[in-house]
Amino acid sequence: MNIERLIAKFGLKRISYEPSKGDKGLIAKQLLKATMIEANEIMKTWRGTYPDKALCIITIVEVIQPLGQICPECNGSGKVRSKCNHLVKCPCCDDGRILWTQETRFAYFCLTLRITYSRFRRYMPVIKVLVDWLSDKRNAAALALINR
């Protein structure tokens, strides 16, 4: 199954599922676009501006990597070399993954948009709703694949 058909299983509206020719970034752009539409729907009653793109990027990353980010210190192996050259458990992660917490979400969010932690905390409920929404879409896609 090609990536377009897989993404189509997400059932997201306003996405073109035509096969793209060589542009792998196109699907990511469309996923971002569909997530932004949902974010704007959720934020309809929000007063003032909000960083919809940054909200969507953290959402997509969290849904794509539900077990957490790959640890940059051990490259996901969960082990590092000690000073005496022994393999030891990486002190930074949990078996190669940095689990999603409010702190790690904030750190990742700041890669896209550097804001204060207090401001970020106001966006957390929105991110939670977006992650749940996109996870549901992903799970439905996975079930559709299993049933084939």
Could you tell me how many residues of this chain bind Zn ion (CB under 5 A)? Answer: 6
- Please state the closest distance from residue 93 (CB atom) to Zn ion, in A: 3
Pairwise CA distance, residues 44 & 1, whole Å: 36
92 vs 111, beta carbon nearer Zn ion:
92
Task: Tell which positions 56-75 bind Zn ion, by CB under 5 A.
Answer: 71, 73-74
Cα dihedral sign, 9-138-13-28: negative
Q: How far is the CB of 120 from Zn ion (least distance, A)?
A: 24
The distance of closest approach from Cβ of residue 135 to Zn ion in the complex, given in angstroms and rounded to an integer, is 24
Nearest to Zn ion of 103, 132 (CB atom): 103
Q: How far apart (Å, rounded) are the C-alpha atoms in residues 40 and 46?
A: 9
Write the CB contacts of 5 (distance below 8 Å, at least 6 apart in sequence): 17
- Closer residue to Zn ion, CB minimum distance, 39 or 71: 71
75-114 binders of Zn ion (CB under 5 A)? 90, 92-93
Please count the CA atoms within 13 angstroms of the CA of 1 that sit on its side-chain side: 14
Nearer to Zn ion, 34 or 98 (CB): 98
Nearest to 46 by CA among 128, 126, 114: 126
Question: Which stretches of the chain bind Zn ion, using CB under 5 A?
Answer: 71, 73-74, 90, 92-93
